Every structure is written in C-alpha cells, then in structure tokens.
Structure 1
Amino acid sequence: MPFARFRQDRYDTLIQELENANIQLVESRSAVEELEEKLDRVSKLREDYSDLKATSKSTMLCLEDEIDSLKRQFQNLQAQLAALTSHPNLGFPPLPALARLLFSQD
C-alpha cells in the first residue's frame, strides 16, 4: 500500500500542477490578447500620427508661401509709398487719397 499511496500522491501533485499550468495559460492568453489589442491601437496611432505629420507639413508649406507672398506685397506697397511720398509734384498726400492711389494701382 505505501507504493500505491506514493503513486496517488504523485498523481494528485501532477494534476494540481496541470491545473495551475492551465490557469496560467488562460491568464497568459488574456494578457497576450490585451497586448495584441494595444499593439493594434499603437499601429493605428502611428498611422494617424503619420497622416497628421504629412498634413501639418503641407499646411506649413502653404502658410510659408502665403507669408512670402504677403512679404512681397508689403515690400511693393512700401516701394509705392516711398515713390508717392518722394514725388516732387505730389508731396505727401492725405491718407484717404494715398489709400485710393495704392488700391487703384493693383
């Protein structure tokens, strides 16, 4: 009987270890599924970030072009103003007249 008891104890121990291993397997699968979901979210966020980065770059280029255009317009207006105010026959015209002159030249 002692041998049978030893075998039964060993069997019971193995069954308990198997149950523990199954519990760990289920927990591990849950953790793996959770990590896979997070990985999918990270992948989606990377795509979104890439899209936003491209859009931002495009927007910045458009804004820089607009700024350059406005700078050129400003320089042209400054040159026109300098030409108008330095003209010997005109002198410095009153502001409403100056505005009409500037807008009529565009």
Structure 2
Amino acid sequence: MNSRFRRRSLLNSSEDNDPMSVVSNLFDVAMVFAVALMVALVSRYNMTEMFSQEDFTMVKNPGKENMEIITKEGEKISRYTPSGNKDSSSGKGKRVGVAYELENGDIIYVPE
C-alpha cells in the first residue's frame, strides 16, 4: 500500500501544478537569446567603439547618396546626414586654396 501512495505523491507534486514556472523559464531563455544576439550584431558590424571611452568619428557609405557621419564625444553620439540639395550652398563661400593628390595617395593643400 505504501508504494501506491508514493506513486501518487510523485505524480501530484506541487512543482508540476505551477503553470507560471514554464513562462518564467521561457522568459529566461528569451533574455539570454536577446543578449547573445546583441553581442553578435555589435561584433559583426565592428561597432565596439560605441562602448569605449574614446571619442571617434565614423563615416558610413563614404561618397554615396546615403552617406552618414557618426561622431561620439564623451557620452554624446551625434549623427549627420548631408543634404542632397547641393545647389543651396553654392555662392556662400570663397576659394581659399587648392588641394593636390600625389601619386602615392597623399593630399597636399596649398593656401592662396
């Protein structure tokens, strides 16, 4: 008779009747997955500079229509996207010098 009661007590344990234990376990798994995904994305796109203490400037898509300049100074991160309307800035400046590119890739600026 004792073995019969033991079987029932094993089948009716209090842990099996708690439906929230499954939800909490799924939440823990989802959090671990989200953190792992964030670490993988940061390392894949070489964005580890965002977490360092050093200031930096990064240019995304240089020379293209969708170019962006991202600057980090201390805790402040700013993003600059040049406007596509280049005619609006013409005539507002003056020529101050000439820049020459040498065969080895160096650029020399000669002020006027």
User: What TM-score do the two structures reach when normalised by structure 1?
Assistant: 0.34
- Which is higher, the Rg of structure 1 or of structure 2? 1
Richer in helix (by share): 1
User: What TM-score do the two structures reach when normalised by structure 2?
Assistant: 0.32
